[in-house]
Amino acid sequence: MYELSGKILLYSKEVKSTDLTIPDESGYGSRIVSGSFLWTVYFIKVNDELIRIGLRLKNKHLKYFEKCPILLDKIKNNEFKRNEVKQIVSFYNKSCE
- Whole-number Å distance between alpha carbons of 1 and 54: 14
Q: pTM of the prediction?
A: 0.78
pLDDT digits (tens, 9 = 90+) for 42-95: 999 998 899 999 999 999 999 999 999 999 999 999 999 999 999 999 999 999
Which structural domain range is residue 89 located in? 2-95
Domain count, the chain: 1
- Whole-number Å distance between alpha carbons of 17 and 78: 29
pLDDT digits (tens, 9 = 90+) for 2-43: 678 889 999 999 888 766 666 766 667 766 666 677 888 999
CA distances from 66 to 13, 14, 18, 34, 60 (A): 25, 28, 37, 40, 11
